[in-house]
Amino acid sequence: DIQMTQSPPSLSASLGDKVTITCQASQNINKYIAWYQQKPGKAPRLLIRYTSTLESGTPSRFSGSGSGRDYSFSISNVESEDIASYYCLQYDNLWTFGGGTKLELK
Amino acid sequence: EVQLVESGGGLVQPGRSLKLSCAASGFTFSNYYMAWVRQAPKKGLEWVATISTSGSRTYYPDSVKGRFTISRDNAKSSLYLQMNSLKSEDTATYYCARHSAPSNWFAYWGQGTLVTVSS
């Protein structure tokens, strides 16, 4: 089974900051990684698929990159509506989520 | 508009069974793989089960294999999750999700149904 190690577990940022979240897979996942945003009491929302492809409606301040085992997700110019938890998902071999990152306002 | 509506959650005693349902609309249900994903209170997301378009292939993580069974009725555009031998650690919100395509990401999600396993 593929394990996904996501860091950091929590992140504190000011409005306008750039933040970065990383996910490391236990093996090469061939760029088959997606990123989700989840707000309290709501279902997850797909933001990015296949490492860096923005889903329709995802603001351009969100971005993703990586290859092999190592991937990152960034938000430039954090806005108040971005306060949420974020999860990576590998879908190269079955499906595994990272542990999540809670983004809070400083 | 894609809609996924879960039902069937509730309070159940350890060792008992429960069956969840998901009613799908807004797309051709029989064309897509479907899945269940759960989230324990204050915890992260965990994939629970996936089923192929015809229902002939199913996939589970080790944590639920042998206890949970995913199934579908394409004529009714409905997805199911039969959960047996429930444990306290199965307490979670269970989300119905539609895959984007075979073996791909989860593109759409329902709002979830809460299952509480407690005596």
Q: Is the peptide bond before A8 cis (omega within 30 degrees of 0)?
A: yes
Average pLDDT over residues B92-118: 94
d(Cα B76, Cα A29) in Å, to the nearest integer? 35
Asked whether the predicted pLDDT for residue A12 surpasses 90, the reply is yes
Question: What's the confidence (pLDDT) of residue B101?
Answer: 78
Average pLDDT over residues A64-82: 97
A40 Cβ contact list (under 8 Å, min separation 6): none
A to B CB pairs, distance under 8 Å: 48
Structure tokens at B43: 């915890």
Q: Measure CB to CB from residue A87 to each of B45, B107, B112 and give the nearest one.
A: B45
Contacts of B106 in chain A (CB under 8 A): 34, 44, 46, 89, 95
Contact A100 B112 (CB under 8 A): no
Measured in angstroms, the CA of B111 and the nearest CA of chain A are apart by 5
Contact B45 A97 (CB under 8 A): yes
DSSP character at residue B15: T
Asked whether the predicted pLDDT for residue B103 surpasses 90, the reply is no
Of A2 and B103, the structure prediction assigns the larger pLDDT to A2
Kindly write down the DSSP assignment for every residue of chain A, as one continuous string. ---EEEE-SEEEE-TT--EEEEEEESS--TT-EEEEEE-TTS--EEEEETTTEEPTT--TTEEEEEETTEEEEEESS--GGG-SEEEEEE-SSS-EE---EEEEE-
Q: Measure CB to CB from residue A44 to each of B35, B45, B62 and give the nearest one.
A: B45
Question: What's the confidence (pLDDT) of residue A61?
Answer: 98
